[in-house]
């Protein structure tokens, strides 16, 4: 069942035509990746879903709600959370303060300070540390955990492994898989193809603002031509 439907959206930055008729469906319970080179339109797709950069045309629907022209806070209240590439944790606040301040939603669900600490024991160990005292990997885990405090049904992740060491990338992949098992649907933008092949159910590939491929993880693993042509791997 499609949780989110993106129908033929066209998104611009000023006069720069970025998304040129993007259509996608994200099914409930899956990990879906959006792949492509830098500048292909991946982040703009996430920003369009969140209402940060609104499409000029096309339609986005989430659980029978048309969200195309909604404000970002209204979209978040429906149950969509966004972890941007730069994480945007509060550097001067402790881990626990970062998590608590995010727990302002009226949405009911399984995520609380206790359940987040159970899933991310490293945050429990670091709960009194300020954001600027965390490593890059710890900051990324905190950013994801903070998003969960709003009890989303759909989590958008933008390049969560960027700039991290291989052992931390493994931790991030395990974290995403664990969240998926808690009935959170995930739309993942990621450059680390090998990581996505380990955890994703389906993939879309975007190039110059257009979707040029979609397929299951098994199909994508076999399709080396697409990976070589559009992802340079």
Which CATH number characterizes residue 200's domain? 3.40.50.300
Query: Number of folded domains in the chain?
Result: 1
DSSP symbols for 45-108: HHHHHTTSS--SEEEEEETTEE-TT--HHHHHHHTEEEE-TT----TTSBHHHHHHHH------
Task: Please state the rounded mean pLDDT for residues 17-26.
Answer: 98
Do the Cβ atoms of 2 and 25 come closer than 8 Å?
A: yes
Where is 26: in which H helix or E strand?
strand 16-27
CA distances for 128 relative to 48, 92, 96, 132, 150, angstroms: 35, 11, 7, 12, 21
CB-based burial label for 41 (10 Å; 0-12, 13-18, 19+): buried
Task: Please state the rounded mean pLDDT for residues 51-62.
Answer: 97
Reference 128, options 96, 163, 164, 165; nearest CA is 96
CB neighbour list of residue 141: distance below 8 Å, 6 or more residues apart: 120, 122, 123, 171, 172, 175
**Predicted confidence (pLDDT) at residue 233 exceeds the cutoff of 60:** no
Do the Cβ atoms of 98 and 120 come closer than 8 Å?
A: no
Task: Please state the rounded mean pLDDT for residues 158-183.
Answer: 91
CB neighbour list of residue 224: distance below 8 Å, 6 or more residues apart: none
Reference 42, options 185, 184, 207; nearest CA is 207
Task: Please state the rounded mean pLDDT for residues 175-191.
Answer: 94
DSSP E strands in 138-209: the ranges are 154-158, 185-189, 202-207
pLDDT at 83: 95
> Helix, strand, or coil here: 2?
strand
Q: Which domain holds residue 101?
A: 2-231
Q: Token pair 């402790």 is at which residue?
A: 94
Mean pLDDT of the chain: 93
pLDDT at 104: 65
């Amino acid at each position: 069942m499609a949780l989110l439907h993106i129908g033929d959206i066209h998104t611009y930055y000023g006069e720069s035509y970025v998304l040129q008729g993007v259509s996608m469906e994200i099914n409930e319970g899956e990990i879906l990746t959006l792949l492509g080179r830098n500048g292909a339109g991946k982040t703009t797709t996430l920003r369009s879903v969140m209402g940060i950069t609104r499409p000029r045309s096309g339609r986005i629907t989430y659980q029978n709600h048309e969200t195309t022209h909604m404000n970002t806070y209204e979209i978040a209240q429906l149950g969509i959370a966004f972890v941007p590439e730069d994480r945007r944790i509060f550097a001067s606040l402790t881990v626990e303060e970062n998590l608590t301040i995010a727990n302002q939603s009226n949405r009911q669900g399984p995520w609380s300070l206790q359940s987040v600490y159970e899933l991310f024991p490293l945050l429990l160990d670091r709960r009194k540390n300020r954001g600027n005292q965390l490593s890059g990997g710890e900051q990324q885990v905190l950013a994801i955990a903070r998003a969960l405090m709003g009890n989303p049904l759909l989590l958008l992740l933008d390049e969560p492994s960027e700039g991290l060491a291989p052992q931390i990338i493994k931790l991030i992949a395990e974290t995403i898989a664990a969240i998926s098992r808690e009935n959170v649907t995930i739309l993942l933008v990621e450059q680390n193809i090998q990581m996505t092949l380990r955890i994703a159910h389906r993939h879309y590939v975007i190039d110059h603002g257009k979707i040029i491929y979609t397929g299951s993880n098994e199909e994508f693993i076999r399709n080396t031509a697409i990976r070589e042509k559009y992802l340079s791997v």
